[in-house]
Structure 1
Amino acid sequence: MIRKTISILTAIKPTEDKEEWSVTEISRKLNMPLQTVYRLLGCLTDVGFVVRDRETKKYKLGLSIMELGLSIRDNLSVRNTALPIMEKLASQTKESVYLTVPEGHDGIFIDCIDSPQLLKITEPIGMRRPLCVAASKKVILAFFQTKKRQKVINKLDKLGLVSSKEDLLKELEIIQSQGFAISHGETTEGTVSVAAPIFSWENEVVGSISVAGPEHRFVGTRLHEFIKLTTRASCDVSEELGWLEQYN
């Protein structure tokens, strides 16, 4: 069934000459029974992967599948753009540097430059955590557009992941006003993380860059320097992605 569904999505991919397809055309093209095509198109329409024109009764790819493809592209673009800047930041701080992107109500580490020091923070690539936990995730949540942020918070609260919505909202306001987030031991005890948001050319937050390490190395002037370097790095990545608006 999955193969048939993929076959339909591939079959109705727009070309220079054609954007919409009838059920009969799809059935003939794939040598698939009409009833099967109807059923699968119905499922794909329900999730927005396919849309049906009310006048022509024909089908075409929907915005949901376009958004899915664009999200993959954006994540790859963020990673490719951020990597050299992350390497520079890691060299400057001598601490571990992470790249995090949002997916649903979670944040996912998609790349890391490990600290050269013996005592360091090592989190696995692909690790998923709620957007209400730790600096690298909270800074993304803080800079979501209002409706999206509220939707994510409601979801997290429904899942029992938020102890106090009021406290979380206050913390997110502070993060947004200062342009960065700091967390102490929220993921790993005895550690500190400093994170700043990454924006796309559309001025939407698409990820975060963070520096993490043992708590005793994140104190005083050293912490202030890490904040400065991290926010500068996030600006550099954002500008490479076409972001124009600056924040303090």
Structure 2
Amino acid sequence: MSEKKSSSGYSAPILYKAFAIIEEISNAQSQLGISDIARKLNISKSTVHGVIQALIDLEVIRQDNYTKKFRLGPTLIHLGNKALAGVDLRMTVRPFMEELCEEFKETIFLGTFDEQRITIIEKVDSPADLKITAPVGTNIPLFSGATGKVFLAGLEDPVLKNILAARSIPQYTSNSITDPYQLLKEIDKARKLGYATDFEEYIQGVNGVCVPIPDMPGRNLAALWMVGFTQTFNADKMKKAITSLKKAVGNIQESLRN
């Protein structure tokens, strides 16, 4: 890797190496180890090790306990989510959310995920007097019905299994899936179908459907989900909502590319 200088002429090689390592981990299709990073960037293993230890201390990256390889950590992802929340993503997605709300008269949420929390970054409330709602900025649990399944489906298997092994799955309602094996089956189903559903799994009397907004194969930039009371948001309406949500996501991806 070649050294760079700032516009002022000042050189900070270790900083450039740190960003190069972060970028390499971010762009990788699978997790990388120290040897992988050193080879790809043509820098010594000892240098990579030293930089990575500092990045781990700052929670910019994390080391997987199972594979001993590295992935982005909550600090960097949280900062990225803040940037996305404030600029293009919300502006691009909002009109599609309004169209979905107009069509189905149910509340629509847009959210992001940083492996620690799911955060609502935009919403369009149902026009009904009695509705499901939550403020922008609300963090919702990782195991939150359809939304949780979609974001978990975007993780690599070793990361996903570590999360399931390290955390107990809460029982929010009598329909909550608390068995890790059953939840893995639901997550695999979400991967194959490109959406997830829940019938009163997170909130009693509330159904939900969720569709990912991917930024590359296997990685989800965000997700769009619709929730409603069981009386109005029944299985037939949910089926129609899935079709409309997937169509909206396709249009959102096209808009983001442009």
* Pairwise TM-score range, normalised by the shorter structure: 0.5 to 0.7
Q: Which moved more, 1:113-122 or 1:211-220?
A: 211-220
Change (3 A) 1:133 1:216: same
* Alignment check: 8 A CA contact 2:74 2:116 kept: no
The CA deviation at 1:79 is: 2.0
Residues 1:117 and 2:128 aligned together: yes
Output the amino acid matched with 1:87: E
SS state at 1:217 partner: coil
* Alignment check: 8 A CA contact 1:136 1:208 kept: yes
Q: Which moved more, 1:167-176 or 1:194-203?
A: 194-203
Q: Give the 5 Å matches for 1:60-79.
A: 69-76=79-86, 77-79=88-90
* Alignment check: 8 A CA contact 1:137 1:208 kept: no
Q: 2:157 aligns with which of 142, 146, 155?
A: 146
SS state at 2:198 partner: strand
Q: Which moved more, 1:128-137 or 1:150-159?
A: 150-159
* Alignment check: 8 A CA contact 2:97 2:124 kept: yes
The CA deviation at 1:64 is: 8.9
User: Where do 5+ consecutive residues of structure 2 fail to align?
Assistant: 15-52, 61-72
User: Where do 5+ consecutive residues of structure 1 fail to align?
Assistant: 1-12, 23-42, 51-62, 244-248
State the superposition RMSD in angstroms.
3.5
Task: Look up the match of 1:101.
Answer: 112
Q: Give the 5 Å matches for 1:27-38.
A: none
The structure with the larger Rg is 1
TM-score (structure 1 length as normaliser): 0.67
Q: 1:199 aligns with which of 214, 221, 228?
A: 214
Q: 1:232 aligns with which of 247, 251, 256?
A: 247
Q: Give the 5 Å matches for 1:73-222.
A: 73-76=83-86, 77-157=88-168, 163-201=178-216, 204-222=219-237
Residues 1:20 and 2:35 aligned together: no
Change (3 A) 1:145 1:233: farther
Q: 1:47 aligns with which of 57, 81, 86?
A: 57
Question: What percent of counterpart residues are identical?
Answer: 23
CA distance in 2, matches of 1:220, 1:232: 19
The CA deviation at 1:147 is: 3.7
Instruction: List structure 1 segments (4+ residues) > 6 angstroms apart after TM superposition.
Output: 63-66, 158-162
Task: Look up the match of 1:29.
Answer: none
Q: How many residues align?
A: 200
The CA deviation at 1:17 is: 2.2
Change (3 A) 1:145 1:221: same
Change (3 A) 1:45 1:141: closer
TM-score (structure 2 length as normaliser): 0.64
CA distance in 2, matches of 1:239, 1:131: 28
* Alignment check: 8 A CA contact 2:106 2:125 kept: yes
SS state at 2:132 partner: coil
SS state at 1:192 partner: strand
CA distance in 2, matches of 1:194, 1:116: 19
